[in-house]
Amino acid sequence: MNINQFPQVRLRRLRQNSTIRDMLAAPLPGPEKFVWPTFVVEGSGIKEPISSMPGQFRYSIDTLLEAVGKLIATGVKSVMLFGVVGDNDKSCDAAYAMRDDGIVQCAIRALKKSYPDLLVFTDVCVCEYTDHGHCGITNEHGNVLNDPSLELLARMAVSHAKAGADVVAPSAMMDGQVQAIHRALDANNLTGTILMSYSTKFSSSMYGPFREAADSAPGTGDRKGYQADIRDLNSALRESELDEAEGADILMVKPAMFYLDVITRIKQQTKLPLAAYNVSGEYAMLIATADRGWGDLKMMVRESIAAMDRAGVDIFISYWANQYEIMFND
Ligand code: PBG
Ligand code: ZN
């Protein structure tokens, strides 16, 4: 076949006006596909702006309920909770994370009481609650110990599920965490709780704004010993494969925008739903560009969503979810 079919073939025919363009365009994903990640703190009347993430706040439960009411009115019906606590509540074993009266557990109960149809996701990782900021138990050399950390993650997930979380989402990147959490949920008769694994989570430089928001940066060292290496595609693919074998209900790639190829490949190797976490650094990057006058925020956000959608994302975990004007309003 002759590839060059010009002048018979002219692609511009189908781009002549917005009516034909709109007819041929795939619609952007609607609000029902989005999960809003947000931060909750103890206290009341608090809505503290997060400087590294304009448009995002640390909420106390009362102001969170208000914000979620507005969210639901725009059609977004899912949130993902991160707890932020003071240094007094941090310890080497992250004991606060498993407390049934902890801030996340209380927020889950309050949200489900006010909004029974809201889907509440929780992040299951201890780095917000350890004094050293790592995602598990460490030894005297500061190395994160895998198997002892599983126990913490399992107890934390059970505590969230008991409080009413619909989806628990382990993000610690410990080997065997999906299996450990499943067993613990089953042992507690919590067989209906959905398990969304942060299955392919890279050791990325794009988590900076979040670590400021959640006060969860490691005190010393980094997370390269447990999160996936950005340069190793095979191990990244195996991460999701193994979590599927361990019984994850939903897989995830994180970050999203820099890993569209990984999203597409994992989508091809699984029949599970696939989430993508459009992380804090990716969010901040577009805002910073718009702030300098170098791009239109709404157009950039929508272009990035279209890219993730084409790559094969089913569930978008995105800080844009609470910004109806940018996301869903034409
Ligand atoms: C906790 C966790 C992190 C993020 C989600 N869960 C931080 C990290 O791994 O250091 C990052 C989210 C974001 O950057 O938006 N393990
Ligand atoms: Zn962590």
Render pLDDT for 265-276 as a digit per residue (tens, 0 to 9).
Answer: 999 999 999 999
pLDDT > 70? residue 63:
yes
Question: Average per-residue pLDDT in the chain?
Answer: 96
Ligand nearest to the CA of 82: 1
Confidence of residue 330 (pLDDT cuts 50, 70, 90): confident
| 3-state DSSP of 275-324 | EEEECHHHHHHHHHHHHCCCCCHHHHHHHHHHHHHHHCCCEEEEHHHHCH
What local confidence, expressed as pLDDT, does residue 6 receive?
92
Residue 277, beta-bridge partner list? 317
- Please give the backbone phi and psi of residue 16, each rounded to the nearest 5 degrees, phi first: -65, -35
The answer to whether residues 65 and 114 touch, using CB atoms and an 8 Å cutoff, is yes
pLDDT at 2 over 70: no
- Ligand nearest to the CA of residue 279, numbered in listed order: 1
Q: Which of 125, 149, 173 is the best mutation target for the ligand 1 pocket, counting ligand atoms within 8 Å of the beta carbon and taking the most? A: 125
Percent of the chain at pLDDT > 70 equals: 99
Identify the residues whose C-beta falls under 6 Å from ligand 1.
123, 125, 127, 135, 171, 207, 210-211, 216, 223, 279-280
Which of the four pLDDT bands, split at 50, 70 and 90, describes residue 3?
confident
* Residue 3 CB-half CA count within 13 A: 0
Spatial CA neighbour of 193 closest among 167, 169, 160: 167
Specify the pLDDT at position 50.
97
Choose among 35, 29, 121, 123: nearest CA to 77: 35
> 195, 192, 143: which is closest to 171 by C-alpha?
195
Among 211, 224, 226, 317, say which to mutate for ligand 1: greatest number of ligand atoms within 8 Å of CB: 211
- Average confidence (pLDDT) over 13-41: 97
- As a whole number, mean pLDDT of residues 149-169 equals 98
Would you say 274 and 302 are in contact if contact means Cβ atoms under 8 Å apart? no
Question: Domain-by-domain residue ranges, the chain?
Answer: 29-328
Predicted local distance difference test score (pLDDT) of residue 121: 98
Name the residue at shortest CA distance from atom 11 of ligand 1.
207
Coil/strand/helix, residue 78: strand
Q: Which letter does DSSP use for residue 6 in this model?
A: T
> Which atom of ligand 1 is nearest the CA belonging to 278?
15
Nearest to 226 by CA among 173, 180, 181: 173
Q: How much is the average pLDDT of 181-207? A: 98
Give the pLDDT mean for 85-112.
Answer: 97
Average pLDDT over residues 140-149: 94
For the domain covering 29-328, report its CATH number: 3.20.20.70
Asked which of 6-10, 33-37, 55-59, 103-107 is least confident by mean pLDDT, the reply is 6-10
Q: Is 199's pLDDT higher than 90?
A: yes
Supply the DSSP string of 158-217, one letter for each residue.
Answer: HHHHHHT-SEEEE-S--TTHHHHHHHHHHHTT-TT-EEB---EEB--TT-HHHHHHHT--
- Reduced DSSP (H G I as helix, E B as strand, rest coil) percent helix, strand, coil of the chain, to 5: 45, 15, 40
**Which amino acid makes up residue 310?**
R
pLDDT-derived band at 1, boundaries 50, 70, 90: low
Q: How many CB atoms are located within 10 Å of the residue 201 CB? A: 27
Q: Best mutation site among 216, 283, 318, 320 for ligand 1, i.e. most ligand atoms within 8 A of its Cβ?
A: 216
Predicted model pTM:
0.97
pLDDT above 80: residue 17: yes
Ligand number, closest to the Cα atom of 214: 1
- Compute, in angstroms, the gap from residue 159 CA to the centroid of ligand 2: 17
For 185-195, what is each residue's pLDDT tens digit? 999 999 999 99
- Kindly indicate the confidence band of residue 4, based on its pLDDT and cuts at 50, 70 and 90: confident
pLDDT at 76 exceeding the cut of 80: yes
What is the predicted pLDDT for the residue at 329?
Answer: 86
Active-site residue numbers? 201, 254
The tokens of 98 are what? 């498993």
- Burial (CB count within 10 angstroms: exposed 0-12, middle 13-18, buried 19+), residue 125: buried
